[in-house]
Amino acid sequence: MMKGALSPEAAAKLVPDGASVMIGGFMAVGTPERMIDALVAQGVRNLTVVSNDSAMPGRGVGKLVSAGAVSRMITSHIGLNPETQALMIDGSISVELVPQGTLVERIRAGGMGLGGVLTPTGLGTEVEEGKQVVEVDGERFLLEKPLKADFSLIAAWQADYVGNLSYLLTAHNFNPMMALAGRTVIAEPNAIVPVGVIPPDMVKTPGVLVDHLLVRANTGGQPWTQKN
């Protein structure tokens, strides 16, 4: 199904206060920055953010934190954002810390219809607290629950209007898994190319998973006008 591209402002309007949003990126590499800017401009509030980390002030998820848009985070690392740490300590943001490999598997499980993740990671640590332990052939594993969200906001390298996405180098990170686990998936590609241009073997997120694309950055959403 062909998908028209939205302006960041129009896409941000889809996201109401109080929504849960998965946001791709690793230290803001592979994060949909224009989408985040539009959410900040809109003044969205009370988001639950699922993301690998809270980046740093002024970049990626850090901009949402600074804007006071986030009330809860499910994340593996906030160490490079002193604002998140301060807001967590004063109680303005509640933070659930999850081991990185567990976090990405929980997202995958949510997106792929699995009941949870059985992992040895976190056994015998604070991460185990309150969780079910499942024994398989005498070995113990933590049962970590699947994660889904109202929205997944992801960054990609190329998109076509079917919604197919490719990713570049370390900008993959959480994006392909989050594309599976958001009820509405909004992708901010670096470029949009005609359908048929991305080779099938380069597509890492099939278009059926993507609901909306953000327009190209460099044309402000205006297609080139044919003059001749």
Partner 1 sequence: MDAKELIARRVAREIGPGMLVNLGIGLPSLVANYVPASLAVFFQAENGVIGLGARPPEGMEDPHLTDAGGGFVSAVPGAASIDSAMSFGLIRGGHLDMTVLGGLQVDEQGQLANWKVPGMMVPGMGGAMDLVIGAARVIVAMQHSARGEAKLVRECTLPLTARRRVNLVVTDLAVIEPTDAGLVLREHAPGVSVAEIVAATDARLIIGDDIQEMIVA
Which residues 192-211 are close enough to bind partner 1 by CB under 8 A? 195-196, 200-201, 203-204, 206-209
Least distance from C-beta 33 to its own copies, angstroms?
Answer: 21
Query: Choosing among its own copies, partner 1, none, which partner's interface includes residue 143 (Cβ < 5 to 8 Å by kind)?
Result: its own copies
**β 165-166/149-160 pair status:** antiparallel
Q: Which stretches of the chain bind its own copies, using CB under 8 A? A: 105, 109, 113-120, 132, 134, 136-137, 139, 141, 143, 145-146, 166-169, 200-202
Query: Choosing among its own copies, partner 1, none, which partner's interface includes residue 94 (Cβ < 5 to 8 Å by kind)?
Result: none
CA distance 177 to 104: 7
CA distance 67 to 18: 15
Least distance from C-beta 228 to partner 1, angstroms?
Answer: 27
φ, ψ of residue 84 in degrees (nearest 5): -60, -45
Nearer to partner 1, 14 or 80 (CB): 80
Binding flag, residue 27, partner 1 (CB under 8 A): yes
Asked if 165 and 210 touch (Cβ cutoff 8 Å), the reply is yes
φ, ψ of residue 223 in degrees (nearest 5): -65, 155
Least distance from C-beta 64 to partner 1, angstroms?
Answer: 17
The DSSP line for 93-158 is SEEEE--HHHHHHHHHHHHHT-S-EEESTTTTSGGGTT--EEEETTEEEEEE----EEEEEEEEEE
H or E element that contains 228? none
Query: Choosing among its own copies, partner 1, none, which partner's interface includes residue 75 (Cβ < 5 to 8 Å by kind)?
Result: partner 1
Lay out the site mask for partner 1 across 100-129 (x = CB under 8 A, - = otherwise): xxx-xx--x--xxxx----xxxxxxxxx--
Which residues 158-177 are close enough to bind partner 1 by CB under 8 A? 160, 162, 164, 167-177
Nearer to its own copies, 26 or 59 (CB): 26
Binding flag, residue 40, partner 1 (CB under 8 A): no
**Token pair recorded at residue 18:** 């109080």
DSSP state, 61?
A: H
